[in-house]
Structure 1
């Protein structure tokens, strides 16, 4: 067992991804975007789950858009374009990648 300290907690260092745990089959980290900030991420080679722990925004994918806030859980399959926009409150996201972030052969940015 391991307690993952700081996972999903807001950090005021601007757009920031911090990986708190990495094992071969998954990784866990926190992604923060300040209110009014711009999400600059690119599609990932791994499946991904976001859990909103703080803040409000919209997520936009090719399939549509949705308002998100604390407690929202979002699945994004590997390779899917996605972006958080209209960040109206500092956004903190607990992020789980499967397999671990960056572990698949890169065919995506």
Structure 2
């Protein structure tokens, strides 16, 4: 067993912030934080993702749908799907779980 101390905790910053908490071959987990009014510049990932909102409010946008999210909401984004957080109205913190581990399916030059 391993306790992931600080997982899901917002980090105050003027831009996005990523902190990885765990990486094993079959999954990885970290916290992604964005300030209110911030811009999410992430690109599609080669792994499936689950987002668990632990703080703040924002809209999760994809080409096919958008959803307003707040604390306790959980969203799934399949590998390769374009997505980003928009309309970040409160400092946002999301616990992100990648399956398999982030970048494990990425080309060698990206990993």
TM-score grouping bracket, smaller chain normalisation: over 0.9
SS in 2 for 1:92: strand
Q: Quick one: distance in 2 between partners of 1:77 and 1:87?
A: 22
Q: Quick one: distance in 2 between partners of 1:106 and 1:34?
A: 31
State the Cα distance separating 1:106 from its structure 2 match: 2.8
Kept in 2, the 8 Å contact 1:45–1:106? The answer is no
State the Cα distance separating 1:105 from its structure 2 match: 3.1
Q: So what's the TM-score if we normalise by structure 1?
A: 0.95
Aligned-residue Cα RMSD (Å) equals 1.3
State the Cα distance separating 1:62 from its structure 2 match: 1.4
Q: Quick one: distance in 2 between partners of 1:44 and 1:78?
A: 6
State the Cα distance separating 1:56 from its structure 2 match: 0.3
Q: Quick one: distance in 2 between partners of 1:72 and 1:53?
A: 8
Q: Look up the match of 1:66.
A: 67
What do residues 24-45 of structure 1 show as CA deviations (whole Å, max 9, x unaligned)? 0000100000000000000000
Q: Look up the match of 1:27.
A: 28
Q: So what's the TM-score if we normalise by structure 2?
A: 0.93
State the Cα distance separating 1:63 from its structure 2 match: 1.4
Structure 1 residues without counterparts, runs of 5 or longer: none
Q: Look up the match of 1:48.
A: 49
Q: Which runs of 4+ in 1 moved over 3 A?
A: none
Q: Quick one: distance in 2 between partners of 1:74 and 1:21?
A: 20
Structure 2 residues without counterparts, runs of 5 or longer: none
